[in-house]
Structure 1
């Protein structure tokens, strides 16, 4: 039987980040390593509307509650449950039984299914668990699942993959990335150097690669890097998402801050491109 641990409140992120950083040098990632099996649960979570509004502003979603009560206009942005579940994911990934080092861990993809609109005024049960490890041509990848329930029904779920880069003896087949077909440009966004700090403040994800050029250089980046979840949220704010939908996003290359990117979209697909046409993000939205 899979163990379940109910938490009375979301864990504080700062101690988890510190623990993950301290343990990272001692981790030896490999695809066949053991991983935590416990499912962490927040049984009755309510959304902090002030924090939600700040998130919406940073990511470009519409803000406010037009009627003052639950209505379609009050629905959570499709990416926001990821933020709600992030402290639980961090508790799992920063623990001594998680085999991948938290420092340097790269978010490579997310798959979201929203079964219906989720009012911001609702109370939800959140469950987060690690769904296994897999070999990747650049290292070892972990899958983390987040589920949000309303009255026992799953109304939103996601599956994120995180990559720990290390030398591998083999290159698994079928994992090479293909260049996506170009999409027509829709808009150009000039990104300020503080985007990472602003998103970190509303999401709690204060990974040092996102905060300042000096801390980013410690991990091999010339400048601070935008959060992958900010880039997909910004694109979805521009694209729009049906109440019941599936979202796929793959993070292909870091977005350096400050910088200029081009948002491109056609039908249900969208891309984020940088200088020279380099693709940073590919995504797709489809009705459920």
Structure 2
């Protein structure tokens, strides 16, 4: 179980991903698990993250914040020699986070990151990046990020049932600015070119830059702030990309002891659907 003394530097990892991507032809996932200990939260960086995503300034971390702390380790895993797929072109299709209690800005954290569960997808192969975050020797936060490697279609692969929240009666309409991809990249380190500028996005087949999926998830949870319990699970499926700039309709509805929510384009196409369960 390799240990990381600091967060890996993302710039060199992105260059490595670009150089080695064409050599990756598939195969099994590696069994490597990276661990990083003694992670201190920078209050200034947290405040900037909260501003970009719409959270209030609090002593508690937003449930999505540990994702950006572990993101460099996940990129390290997906650029290691034994990883079977090129990082460029992977599609983030779903994200699940479970929080047993709120993490505090004063908590000293330990994070472990691994990849798991390579399996068929109707459009290729999918796998999970699994992250656990501990405080005081206890795991209190768990994340599963599911990525798709587009490839040979598999009609026999199981179809995931996507939550359906019909557009209409929106709780709010958001103006999403053209620079939100660059703003989120600055606070998260996720500088994928599809999020940064129309020209770099067009090089990867998008008509415009697109919003980060994890920004969209965080922004939705910020809209639910004050309605969320201390311990909950939030599941999100990412559907159509959110082009920048744009307007998007946010909808939230009570569902048992939690919430269902969605982000739609003004034409009614879903960008994201999700649920919160206590």
Aligning the two structures, in what range does the TM-score lie when normalised by the shorter sequence? over 0.9
The alignment status of 1:229 with 2:214, answered yes or no, reads: yes
**Structure 1 residue 172, shift from structure 2 partner:** 2.7
Q: Distance in 2 between matches of 1:55 and 1:282?
A: 22
**Residues 120 and 157 of structure 2 are in contact (CA less than 8 Å); yes or no, is this contact kept in structure 1?**
no
Q: Distance in 2 between matches of 1:199 and 1:12?
A: 17
> Which residue does 1:274 correspond to in 2?
265
> Which residue does 1:27 correspond to in 2?
24
**Residues 40 and 129 of structure 1 are in contact (CA less than 8 Å); yes or no, is this contact kept in structure 2?**
yes
Q: CA RMSD in A?
A: 1.3
Q: Distance in 1 between matches of 2:116 and 2:136?
A: 24
> Which residue does 2:9 correspond to in 1?
12
**Structure 1 residue 178, shift from structure 2 partner:** 5.0
Q: Distance in 1 between matches of 2:129 and 2:73?
A: 10
Structure 1 unpaired stretches of 5+: 64-72
Measured at CA, do residues 286 and 21 of structure 1 come closer, stay the same or move farther in structure 2, by a change above 3 Å? same
**Structure 1 residue 176, shift from structure 2 partner:** 5.6
**Structure 1 residue 132, shift from structure 2 partner:** 2.7
Q: Distance in 2 between matches of 1:47 and 1:39?
A: 22
Q: Distance in 2 between matches of 1:210 and 1:256?
A: 9
Q: Distance in 1 between matches of 2:204 and 2:113?
A: 28
Specify which of 44, 49, 53 is matched with residue 50 of structure 1.
Answer: 44
Query: How does the TM-score come out when normalised to structure 1?
Result: 0.91
**Structure 1 residue 128, shift from structure 2 partner:** 0.5
For residues 113-157 of structure 1, the C-alpha deviation after alignment (integer angstroms, 9 at most, x for no partner) is: 000011011101110011131111111112000100112211101
Measured at CA, do residues 255 and 131 of structure 1 come closer, stay the same or move farther in structure 2, by a change above 3 Å? same
Q: Distance in 2 between matches of 1:151 and 1:282?
A: 33
The alignment status of 1:154 with 2:130, answered yes or no, reads: no
**Residues 20 and 95 of structure 1 are in contact (CA less than 8 Å); yes or no, is this contact kept in structure 2?**
no
Measured at CA, do residues 130 and 51 of structure 1 come closer, stay the same or move farther in structure 2, by a change above 3 Å? same
**Residues 19 and 95 of structure 1 are in contact (CA less than 8 Å); yes or no, is this contact kept in structure 2?**
no
Q: Distance in 2 between matches of 1:243 and 1:172?
A: 40
Measured at CA, do residues 141 and 76 of structure 1 come closer, stay the same or move farther in structure 2, by a change above 3 Å? same
> Which residue does 1:175 correspond to in 2?
159
Q: Distance in 2 between matches of 1:185 and 1:262?
A: 6
**Structure 1 residue 181, shift from structure 2 partner:** 3.5
Q: Distance in 2 between matches of 1:178 and 1:128?
A: 26
Q: Distance in 1 between matches of 2:165 and 2:103?
A: 33
Measured at CA, do residues 173 and 166 of structure 1 come closer, stay the same or move farther in structure 2, by a change above 3 Å? closer
Measured at CA, do residues 212 and 114 of structure 1 come closer, stay the same or move farther in structure 2, by a change above 3 Å? same
Q: Distance in 2 between matches of 1:114 and 1:176?
A: 23
> Which residue does 2:71 correspond to in 1?
86
